[in-house]
Amino acid sequence: MTTFSLGRSFFGIAIAASGVLQLAIGDFVRLVPKLPASFPAPALWAYLTGVVLVIAGLAILSNRMTRLAAIVVAALLFTSLLLRVPQLVVPWAERPYLRGGLWTNPLKTLALIGGAVLIAKGPSAHRLGAVFLALFFVVGGLQHFAYVDFVTTLVPAWIPGRRFWAYFTGVALIGAGTGILIPKTARLAGTAAAAMIFSWVFLLHIPRALAGPHANETAGVFEALALSGVALLVASRPRS
């Protein structure tokens, strides 16, 4: 299996699983946030979107009608991104640039859009996918330093030197974000980032989901798998 096909498989599994979760709870999960309260029949739209995610994810995974499925996913994610933008429109006095949570989700969605576009268009979209993923990695890495106390709590208690690993992953994310933008290091940076995020699926997200069954934590498992897939897609950049 090539790096690209493995990344596509991770992405497809994550999209389909998110759709199944959405159908199971009858509500929107992290990939597509809740619609405004004024929107009619929100539960109906949650189920319909869940069905679309399952079909699109399975199409991407099986590599059948992949381009159309990836375009549909990109459109859904772009809608998700638009719904998140109002969160950033707050009075400047509230210093939104210091409120990390406001930026994490929009940039994460942008990175996933880059992955969907890469699947739809192949190597011709590599630069776009790399830039979108790099933005998320670099900002996420900087937030590891700004919110180190919180990040430290995410490191499993059985791992010694939890604060060190909070800082280390921050440096690693910044390095990965920078590396995937440089042609000579893009493959190495993307592969290393994919391995790191994939490890978080088992070290962080699955234990958190099992500790307290909660749809948001379960959705985090699939979200991390999707991001690992995007990193692999970026790592599949053709050798120059």
User: What are the extents of the domains in the chain?
Assistant: 3-235
Q: Tens-of-pLDDT digits for all 240 residues of the chain?
A: 699 999 999 999 999 999 999 999 888 887 776 666 677 777 788 899 899 999 999 999 999 999 999 999 999 899 878 876 666 665 445 555 546 667 788 889 999 999 999 999 988 888 999 999 999 999 999 999 988 998 999 898 899 999 999 999 999 999 999 999 998 999 999 999 999 999 999 999 999 888 876 778 888 899 999 999 999 999 987 665
Burial class (CB in 10 A: 0-12, 13-18, 19+), 79: middle
Taking alpha carbons only, the member of 30, 51, 55 closest to residue 223 is: 30
pLDDT for residue 32:
72
Q: Supply 108's token pair.
A: 């994460």
